[in-house]
Structure 1
Amino acid sequence: AMATLSFPDLCRLFCCPPCPSHIAAKLAFIPPDPTYSVMPDETGNKYLLHLTDRAEWQYTDREQQALEVFLVRTSRGNRVACMHVRELIFNPRYSVSPEHIILYGQSIGTVPTIDLAKKYECGAVILHSPLLSGLRVAFPDTKRSWCFDVFPSIEKIPKVTSPVLVIHGTEDEVIDFSHGLAIYEQCPRAVEPLWVEGAGHNDIELYSQYVERLRQFIHSELP
């Protein structure tokens, strides 16, 4: 960006005012050259996005049709270009019944998984390296739940009525194996767990029994 600055730009950057903190702030927020332009269409009622050759991503015609470009005027009179992307993945409804859905959560992702499974009975739940609560991860000697304890999964798991498969590595260096064991013991409908001997927090997928246990659970143990 520095190579494209004009002489007046350089003067404003280093001289107005010549304080190191101001120079660093202005240098950090030098915008790059635009890679697109927003132009009105033939009717003048809608705007179209035109990408330059410098754009890192070139949209196809089909993707262009999913874009809605518009301008928003701020209270100070500036215009901000906005883009709305219609994407099926963000559709809130897929007409799939909960009993046909398997919830899968890993590590911190087991927190919203357990919370959702507590509210809705689904086809099954898979908890990969779950944690008891945030406080118990930070302070392993914690034996009870406190009102300020974040992510209290241990308090919610007894209310999960779906079949639950718990997976945990015995040498987990991030969330101790005892977390997975305690979650398993509190599950009303826990199936045979998978304790991967010698596995850590991020390598369970590398063990052959991981895929084998998932296949058995999904194809043989669910109705």
Structure 2
Amino acid sequence: MNGFSFSGFCCLFCCPPCPGRIAAKLAFLPPEPTYNFVLDEKNNKFTLDLSQRAEWQYLPRELDQIEVFFARSSRGNRIACMYVRACPNPKFTILFSHGNAVDLGQMSSFYLGLGSEINCNIFSYDYSGYGVSSGKPSEKNLYADIDAAWQALRSHYGISPEKIILYGQSIGTVPTVDLASRYEVGAVILHSPLTSGMRVAFSNIKRTWFFDAFPSIEKAPRITSPVLVIHGTEDEIIDFSHGLAMYEKCPRAVEPLWLEGAGHNDVESYGQYSDRLNQFINVDLNQSNT
């Protein structure tokens, strides 16, 4: 997400655009697709076909752990979905909303590794205009996209809400917070969350304007599930203050993970990251249910 010049600031307040335009200017950077969905000979099942841009050297048995298909959003877009069977007896299924400038092809190897490390299967999707999902990125599409993913996960695999953990990373925290404010689930993980689009662009803004995009800070108090917030203290894209604010607004927030010295794109490289996820899943959630 990029900052604005003073003239841009004036334009926003003197002639404020619609939230969709703020969202488009601040947030969406879909990469060149790194994968495709290929129909089998009987035309009844898709398989994942990764390009070299996905940068993953995989074995056939690893690809066999991944199921892919399309869901249809309420706004008419075809949403690419991926189900990663990372472990034989998963404790939960993670509904993962990924960060910016990546797609399912680039994330697939990470999902396999993460799922096996925390004993969870992972279900993910590409936003409208990302990967092979149709349409264009927009705030409204973002909310419709996660709804389509949620319904697909529930209907295709019969997983109950209390067995689903919503995980949002960066821009992915926006649809995650929106869904979590409307459904009670097993838990929520907010990784480098943003409070709102305007607050990312202008750090001194303390209120939510009517034309603001991604107003997650206003939805956080309605989340009834346990929430783990993760943020790097040296995040150069979404300031650490956003993580603090979201932590304070979530009624059932557990002990957060503040990674000293971590930026926006290296949180996963810290050992405390997987340790805290395992503690959250195996300890914190058990305590919250007793």
**TM-score w.r.t. length of structure 1:** 0.62
- Shift of residue 65, structure 1, vs aligned partner: 1.2
Matches within 5 A, 1:87-166: 87=69, 89=81, 92=152, 93=155, 94-166=157-229
Q: Deviations over 1:179-208 (max 9, x none)?
A: 000100111000000000000000000000
- For residue 193 of structure 1, the aligned residue among 235, 241, 256 is 256
Distance in 1 separating the partners of 2:220 and 2:69: 33
Give the match for residue 247 of structure 2. 184
CA–CA distance in structure 1, aligned partners of residues 183 and 233 of structure 2: 30
| Aligned residue identity for 2:43 | A
Cα offset for 1:108?
0.6
What secondary structure does 2:40 align onto? helix
Counterpart residue identity of residue 187, structure 1: C
Query: What is the identity, as a one-letter code, of the residue corresponding to 1:87?
Result: F
Comparing 115-124 and 91-100, the one that deviates more: 91-100
> What does 1:10-89 correspond to in 2, within 5 Å?
63-67=40-44, 87=69, 89=81
The answer (yes or no) to whether the contact 1:66–1:87 under 8 Å persists in 2 is no
Partner of 2:144: none
Q: Determine the C-alpha separation between the residues in 1 that align with 2:43 and 2:69.
A: 8
RCO higher in structure (CA 8 A, sep ≥6): 2
* Corresponding residue SS for 2:166: strand
Report the CA distance between 1:95 and its aligned residue. 1.3
Measure the CA separation in 2 of the matches of 1:182 and 1:212.
23
The superposition leaves residues 100-138 of structure 1 with CA deviations (integer Å, 9 ceiling, x where unpaired) of 000000001000000000000000000000000000001
> Per-residue deviation at 1:87?
3.0
Q: Count the aligned residue pairs.
A: 147
What's 2:121 paired with? none
User: Which segments of 5 or more consecutive residues in structure 1 lack a partner in the other structure?
Assistant: 1-56, 69-85
Amino acid corresponding to residue 218 of structure 2 in structure 1: E
Q: What is the aligned-residue RMSD (CA, Å)?
A: 2.0
What is the one-letter code of the residue matched to 1:109? G
Partners of 2:188 and 2:43 lie apart in 1 by 34
